[in-house]
Amino acid sequence: MTSIERMLTIGGPPPLAGILSEPAPGDPARETLILLNSGMMHHVGTCNLSVKIARRTASLGTLAYRFDFSGIGDSRSRSFAGSHEEREVSEVREVMDELTRRTGAERFLLCGLCSGADAAMATAVVDDRVAGIAQIDPYCFRTGRWYLRHYLARVREREAWSRLFRKLRGGPVAVDGLPREYLEEIDEQERHDFDKGGLTSGYRSLVERGVRTLVIMTEGQSFCYNYEGQFRDVFARVPFGTLLDEHYLPSTRHTIIEPDDQAFVTDLISDWAVAGHAVADQG
Amino acid sequence: MEGFFFGESGRQLYGVFHGADPAAYQSRSVLLLYPVGQEYMRIHRAYRRLADSLSDLGFDVLRFDYPGTGDSSGDFSEASLASWKTGAIQAYDELQTMAPSAQVDVVALRVGTIVARALVRERRVARLVLWEPRFEDAAYLRDFTDAIAAKGPTRPNFVADDGSLHYNGFRFASELQAELSHGSLADLEPRRVRSILALSTHDLAEDPALNRLFNRNDNWSVMQTEGPDDWSVLDSVGGLFLPEASLETIRHWLSQ
């Protein structure tokens, strides 16, 4: 299927700048994929990943829209009374409103990496139009199995032992036998702005609405995630069932610069985006 | 700031036009030529900032994505220098159509300086900023291959069996590498440009070949600025690059 791309600005002034990838012919009854910024990176995404995902998704018959939050990429800054997170949620909802008006789309899938994953989740919790979220490196929490794998890996490292012996000769040693500096290194990397209870109830509300969740974790989150299935373990109280699709790419960097992994993630997300239509069509 | 597509259907290019502040309008335009690969990602915000500040100074500014890069059609793995040169000419013409002006200046960074040379042959360019230029075109990719040779191949950075070079998330096909290995800054026809600024964080005159070039014509200015200079760096979160001293030098030189 061929697709075309056109500029589509949203709201304003100043408007949000974005690009719509449209299948020919389009089907507004299908869920529309919206790709969100990651940090300050503009809407093409890391290594053009958002462009690749949008074009492949459109080639499979589904609308895809990539845009810049205000103040990022090709969108000018806007004044907003609330927090940064509230502004992002507000702008994603504004985008959905406008896409509905312009294309007839009524159901949406949100996709983002890192902070984009957080914005996808935050929006999905408050907006029933979101039918699915694809999160690359969302926040996760350590489990007992994470600690076991983390320290076992270090036990196998020659450098870890030499550090330990150096510490034993004079430096303080942590209770678990590892140098304190290891724990401090981990603590420094931890994000403190997430509340496990809040995320659990958020995911639970998504499951109750039948929202699909695709989670892709990379080596970039190794400070909190180090085995496939950990996300499901962390949120064990959320009855995800088949609504959660979890993937772990342990040798992939956070910015997905490995060519094989770029192709894998592009296919995975675009296939996931169109998979919902098969379910909807059958229903 | 207005994003739009232009060019042939099926080969459309994405550009962003920054219209001149009417209060400062001076019938001059600036075309910005990006670098490529991860360098394009890192400099995008700085280019937007440069375009905004030049429009505040009264310039109409266009920045655009080469074919196979950013939002323009095609994929980088199939991109060619020839198509980038053609794209630059199209962008120049589009800028003149959107905002006809008495003169067009060009700012080109790294590989963009190679594209700029071709543009100067085909279109009238009044002033040219060559930002971080290298004398030999091959030097840009040599930075990558030298890094691979020094550190050994890794999953993201390696030369594949088909000869393609993978570096920091972008694939440079063998054909593109060949295109980027032939020329040099000596191919620039300086008499076709009124004045040229060569800008770097290094002392460009230390390169004998560049120094000879600078002394051959009297329309060259050579400036050195402070700031980070390792263009092949990629941090863990895809950090952006805002070389303020270089941006300010360009703004100042073009506003004179």
Predicted local distance difference test score (pLDDT) of residue A278? 56
Q: What mean pLDDT comes out for the span A124-153?
A: 95
Weakest-pLDDT range from A49-53, A159-163, A239-243, B63-67:
A159-163
Task: Label residue B251 by pLDDT band (50, 70, 90).
Answer: very high
A78 touches B at CB < 8 Å? no
Tell me the pLDDT tens digit for each residue of A221-232.
999 999 999 999
CB-count burial class (<10 Å; 0-12, 13-18, 19+) for B147? middle
Catalogue the E-assigned strands of chain B.
2-6, 13-18, 28-33, 59-64, 103-109, 125-131, 158-159, 165-167, 170-172, 193-200, 220-224
Contact A131, A107 (CB under 8 A): yes
Contact A230, A143 (CB under 8 A): yes
A258 touches B at CB < 8 Å? yes
Look at B236 and A5 and tell me if their CB atoms are within 8 Å. Answer: no
Global confidence as pTM: 0.92
| Nearest-by-Cβ selection for A44 from B48, B70, B240 | B70
Predicted local distance difference test score (pLDDT) of residue A183? 42
Interatomic CA distance for residues A99 and B99, integer angstroms: 31
The count of other CB atoms within 10 Å of the CB of residue B162 is 8
Q: Which of A40, A44, A38 lies closest to A18 in space, CA to CA?
A: A44
For residue A189, pLDDT over 60 is answered with no
For residue A26, pLDDT over 70 is answered with no
Contact B71, A5 (CB under 8 A): yes
Q: What mean pLDDT comes out for the span A196-214?
A: 97
What is the number of alpha carbons within 13 Å of residue B193 lying toward its C-beta? 27
Predicted local distance difference test score (pLDDT) of residue A170? 64
Higher pLDDT, A156 or A196: A196
Q: Average pLDDT over chain B, rounded to whole?
A: 94
Task: Label residue A180 by pLDDT band (50, 70, 90).
Answer: very low
Predicted local distance difference test score (pLDDT) of residue A12? 87
What the block records as the tokens of A216 is 């892709």
Q: Name residue A35's beta-bridge partners.
A: A66, A111
Contact A71, A93 (CB under 8 A): no
Q: What residues of A are in contact with residue B170 (Cβ under 8 Å)?
A: 47
Look at B236 and A254 and tell me if their CB atoms are within 8 Å. Answer: yes
Task: Label residue A30 by pLDDT band (50, 70, 90).
Answer: confident
- b/e string for A161-196 if b means 16 or more Cβ within 10 A? eebbeebeeeeeeeeeebbeebeeeeeeeeeeeeee
Instruction: Tell me the ipTM for this assembly.
Output: 0.96
Task: Label residue A10 by pLDDT band (50, 70, 90).
Answer: very high
Look at A259 and B156 and tell me if their CB atoms are within 8 Å. Answer: yes
Tell me the pLDDT tens digit for each residue of B94-153.
999 999 999 999 999 999 999 999 999 999 999 999 999 999 999 999 999 999 999 999
Predicted local distance difference test score (pLDDT) of residue A105? 94
Contact B3, B16 (CB under 8 A): yes
Look at A257 and B234 and tell me if their CB atoms are within 8 Å. Answer: yes
Look at A257 and B168 and tell me if their CB atoms are within 8 Å. Answer: yes
| Nearest-by-Cβ selection for B156 from A7, A220, A253 | A253
Three-state DSSP at B32 gives strand
Three-state DSSP at A225 gives coil
Q: What mean pLDDT comes out for the span B22-50?
A: 95
- Nearest chain A residue to B64 by CA: give it: A74
